[in-house]
Structure 1
Amino acid sequence: MATDETLIAGYDGVVCDLDGVVYRGADAVPEAADALQAVVARGVGVVYATNNASRVPAEVAEQVAALGAPATAGDVVSSAQAGAARLAAELQPGSAVLALGGDGVVEALEAVGLQPVVPDADQRELDRVAAVLQGYGKQLRVRDFETAARLLSTGLPWVASNDDATLPLPWGQSPGNGAYIDLLAGALRRRPDVVGKPHPPLYRLALDRLGTKSARTLAVGDRLSTDIDGAAAAGIDSAWVLTGVDRPSDLVAGEASPTYVLGSLADLLLPYAAPTRDADAWRCGSARVVMDGDDLHLEPGDAAAVEVVRAGLAALLARRDGGGARDRLRDGAEELDRLLEADTPRDPG
């Protein structure tokens, strides 16, 4: 049922993903910057949570601000920062930590009073290393991983910023930090503690930065397996925006359960029309969707595309949870995928 209040009125803080939500590569997502400006103008705090440990917060904030969204370095919470915070809680101040990654890892360690040591440091510095923080870095070489493996084979604490298997690039998918974790784990027969999405530590750091309670904080993201699953693991509500890579068919095929489904960030500033059951149908706005076995029948009326998608997903997920065949249900969800593509053509990556 639609409410008389905007969706964002129920929250004091927003943990916002970046790629696929605020921007796609170098391009702004339509309406995102204006929506974030309006959210902040209402007194709601916004932090940007990113699994990208290679970039420093100031660089990320500069990109976001250039698109017209409100952002300073202090508004960016990275998985490198979450990893550094984890190690700072375990080590003595000033402890040496192998910084296996880019500038973001080095800066994060320095900010919490730990001493970053790069893999090609001299042996005296390496002998002082008390832990390893691993994040993505384009400059990493085979010898850097050999150094890390040698240190980690002694049982040192090992924290990884994130375990994303792939990294989206304009031409497709490149190996991400998770692939390099696997490289070391295969040799060491152990795995690191991971702090980035979908694991809770990054969200907890974001809550600390916002100063908000979990019940009054909303996580916004486009990727189900990181943003939405991570919000659930941290115990906060989630809004899945359809401006990124994941589609309705991905939701039906998986286990994620977003609290809200949004067409874009602009929907934060509107009353939220939730899908409701009506006998054998699901309704959202003027949209009506009926399940005939595992087949989906759409009656859009004059509803917005996102309202049709909400009703369709409610019907499909109810059928899924009742034992429906996922392959058949995914076929039905692909009709919702096509509806979205026709409504808002987007970059695939």
Structure 2
Amino acid sequence: MQGFTDIGGLIIDMDGVLWHGEQALPGLTAFFDTLRDLKLPFVLATNNASITAEQYVAKLSGMRVEIGIREILTSGMATALYLSERYQPSETRVYVIGSAGLRQPLLDKGFILAGEQEPEAVQLVVSGLDKTLTWEKLCNAALHIQAGADFYGSNGDVTLPTERGFLPGNGATLAALTAATGVSPITIGKPAPIIYQQALAILSLPPERVVAIGDRLDTDILGAVRTGIRSVLVLSGISRESDMQRLDYAPTWVMRDIRELTTALRQ
């Protein structure tokens, strides 16, 4: 493939690129075998903050692909790292809407997580996808933000694609809190460049040597453009090639799936 050269590392999305739900996409093991054969480093970077890095390692192992914890970067992990560089974790109380994929990285960095009924003030409200979201959680978060807590979102995905259809994602929760408080959050996941910049640091490579792989134009590809790195849109997930016609940005390459990408890497 023309110009598909000088690649020192990859930043790879997971949902829609490597699998659909619990079903591995065709060519998954051959793709990772190729990366190992070529000694091509990678970071699996996802906006999904609902599960932990350890759970992703286990999921891939169940698909006959072995990876290390250090090759995973979730928006929950990226959020915890970003906040730890700007706040003193041991002195910062955080109210979290979200599951273990967001809560555990914050705990690992030393932040203090506030309980649902604790009266103490919090310094941060952080929201990620929460499939047990309740009115009370929204009320608590809104009151903390109104009282002056800084407001962050692990990612801004408004919808979550599932076998049932497109369900409300974390972006819908952020929108509700913004409507209730008048405060807009800082979001860490794609298309913000933050998670990509952290992945570049993990790879220890300059942007011009790295290629991002994703299935969503509005997150994976736009985030790559904002970070100044090349990108591949694979058509095995959300976005279609026709969707590019109405945008003012585009991926560097468009490929059918990871099987075509594997072929391009081996050339």
TM-score range, shorter chain: over 0.9
The aligned counterpart of 1:144 is 137
Q: Identify which of 88, 92, 106 aligns with 2:88.
A: 92
Unaligned runs of 5+ in 2: none
Q: Percent identity?
A: 31
Deviation at residue 47 of structure 1 after TM alignment: 1.2
What's the secondary structure of 1:10's corresponding residue?
coil
Separation in 1, partners of 2:151, 2:124 = 6
TM-score (norm: length of structure 1): 0.72
Separation in 1, partners of 2:257, 2:227 = 23
1:182 equivalent in alignment to 2:175: yes
Query: Does 1 or 2 have the higher relative contact order (CA < 8 Å, sep 6+)?
Result: 2
CA change 1:36–1:194 in 2 (3 A) is same
What's the secondary structure of 1:133's corresponding residue?
strand
Could you tell me which amino acid in structure 2 is paired with residue 24 of structure 1?
Answer: H
Contact 1:40 1:46 in 2 (8 A): no
TM-score (norm: length of structure 2): 0.93
Deviation at residue 271 of structure 1 after TM alignment: 4.5
1:205 equivalent in alignment to 2:201: no
Could you tell me which amino acid in structure 1 is paired with residue 169 of structure 2?
Answer: G
For residues 190-339 of structure 1, what are the structure 2 equivalents within 5 Å? 190-271=183-264
Separation in 2, partners of 1:91, 1:167 = 30
Separation in 2, partners of 1:70, 1:219 = 21
Could you tell me which amino acid in structure 1 is paired with residue 13 of structure 2?
Answer: D
Separation in 2, partners of 1:263, 1:132 = 40
Q: How many residue pairs are counted as aligned between the two chains?
A: 264
Separation in 2, partners of 1:148, 1:208 = 32
Greater mean alpha carbon deviation, residues 196-205 or residues 254-263 = 254-263
Unaligned runs of 5+ in 1: 273-349
Contact 2:19 2:25 in 1 (8 A): yes
Contact 1:17 1:48 in 2 (8 A): yes
For residues 4-19 of structure 1, what are the structure 2 equivalents within 5 Å? 7=4, 10-19=6-15
Contact 1:2 1:271 in 2 (8 A): no
Could you tell me which amino acid in structure 1 is paired with residue 23 of structure 2?
Answer: D
Separation in 1, partners of 2:54, 2:207 = 26
Contact 1:37 1:70 in 2 (8 A): no
Q: Identify which of 67, 77, 94 aligns with 2:63.
A: 67
Could you tell me which amino acid in structure 1 is paired with residue 79 of structure 2?
Answer: G
